[in-house]
Chains A and B, each alone.
Chain A
Amino acid sequence: MSDETNSNNERAMSDDALRREILIGRVIDGQALPDDWDALRALAEQDPAVWDDLNETQRQQELLCAGVSRVTAVADEIEIDDALVDPEPMVRRLRLVGSWGGWAAAASLALLWSLGINPLQSGTGGQAAGPFATLQPDLTPDDALNQYLDTGREAGRVIREVPDRVVVRAEPLNGGRQVEVLYLRQILERQIVSQVYRESVDELGNELAVPVRLEPDTSGGSIW
């Protein structure tokens, strides 16, 4: 609903109607004074529906508060300390991803290269298993992923999982009773490296990695 519509609604509500709603609100919010109660009773003598409105508004307020409390409970888990740990590089990192777009795939290869693994050779199995090294065999896939995320966060490797899943394909199954959805889950990780490289090809068609120099960001802009 737009604020223009809102403005029309405001005009449509008479002073008496507004007064009635304010009195109901004061009762619900525990702000009603004796005079307010007297005024509300007087209104109810003329229109007993006032009590129904009071009852319904009270009920909705309790439901709304329950909803807000439920959704905002997550706030208690968000500590400022995560942002205190050098937030600037995180912002810069995200900005790089956002501005270089399609370059990200090459960047991921180059990252491996800089860690001592040649991305241009197949079968790069030299990396340690990382957080998955201690996985228990009886974990469900979701449990395993959660363990990876938790362990990764503790190790400083995992920053967060991107909440949106990107749909690749959605197809009905079993005559439309079910839907098979293929989607991507994205996890933002961090690694500290000494050098990054851009994947390129020389004049003879040979793949090669070109060192990339990243200048400190001085724009002062923000991705947010």
Chain B
Amino acid sequence: MDEGREAAGQDVVGAIAGDRDALRRLWQEHRRWVATILIAHKPRECEVEDLLQAVAVQVVRKLGELRDPGAFRPWLRTIAVNAARAEGRKITRRGPTLRLTSETPGAPNGSPVDGADEVERLMELARELPESYREPLLMRCARGMSYKQIGAILDLPETTIETRIARGRRMLRELAGCEQTPAGAGKSGKRPGRWSVVV
């Protein structure tokens, strides 16, 4: 174990014991990949920021109940997944809502696809992947987490992670290939400019 990970392990123990500085360090170290987990599981119309705040509250409330400091990462992932799913259930119960998708007047429909649009389009396609592929694939993007690190969080062997990421990438490539139209517009050509109604 390198020094950084050992220090993180000490922070887990400290945070469980009520050391707030340790908890702050722990949160700052892990919040980015927690956000990635949320992306993988959250409803489309839900903000990562709001879910992350909900996760933070749960961490503060429940960390003292964690018996095995070594299980901190899977435990944190479970909290994130539960927060995202709970929000999904709430949204299912709620009526139609409106989401402000852009503060500036949007481009006319059918405008050329630029780099940002392509990123957005690919993120949307990634949402269509099966959860078991989507999650490790997105985590691999979270500051280059290794297969081993991802496996430790998902409680799966490295080889399984590698296989799932490989399958996920292939499926994503196929999805993107299917989505191409002769005009090259793809879904982005249908995207409304400023508002979208999320039901």
Residues of A within 8 A of B (CB): 1-3, 5-6, 9-10, 13, 17-18, 21-22, 24-26, 28-29, 31, 53, 56-57, 60-61, 63-72, 74-84, 87-88, 90-91, 142, 160, 163-167, 170, 179, 181, 183, 222, 224
Contacts and interface: CB of A to CB of B under 8 A. Distances in A.
A164 B59 contact: no
A101 to B, nearest CB: 12
Given A87-B57, A167-B97, A224 B86 contact: yes
Nearest to B165: A25
A17 B171 CA distance: 12
A223 B36 CA distance: 23
A67 B142 CA distance: 10
Task: Give the interface size bracket for B toward A.
Answer: 35 or more
Q: Which of A21, A68, A70, A142 has the most CB of B within 10 A?
A: A68
B173 to A, nearest CB: 6
Given A9-B167, A64-B138, A165-B100, 20 more contacts: A13-B170, A18-B163, A21-B170, A64-B123, A64-B126, A67-B141, A68-B142, A72-B32, A72-B35, A75-B48, A80-B56, A82-B53, A82-B56, A84-B20, A165-B98, A165-B99, A166-B95, A167-B97, A183-B98, A222-B61
B167 A72 contact: no
Contacts of B36: 68, 72
Contacts of B147: 29, 31
Contacts, number: 171
Contact of A164 (B57, B97, B171, B195): B97
B60 A21 contact: no
B83 A224 contact: yes
B197 A170 contact: yes
Given A60-B176, A164-B45, A179 B53 contact: no
Is the contact region of chain B dominated by helix, strand, or loop, or is it mixed? helix
Contact of A24 (B32, B45, B166, B172): B166
B122 interface: yes
Contacts of A6: 130, 132-133
Given A77-B49, A166-B97, A224-B83, A63 B118 contact: yes
Interface in B143-181: 147, 162-163, 165-167, 169-173, 176
Contact of B39 (A24, A63, A68): A68
B169 A24 contact: yes
B119 interface: yes
Interface of B: 20, 23-24, 27-28, 31-32, 34-36, 39, 45-50, 52-54, 56-61, 82-83, 86, 94-100, 103, 118-120, 122-123, 126, 128-133, 137-138, 140-142, 147, 162-163, 165-167, 169-173, 176, 195, 197
A53 B137 CA distance: 17
A25 B130 contact: no
A56 B118 CA distance: 13
B166 A75 contact: no
B122 A63 contact: yes
A74 B169 contact: no
A160 to B, nearest CB: 7
Given A1-B129, A3-B130, A71-B35, A79 B27 contact: yes
Contacts of B86: 224
Contacts of A2: 130
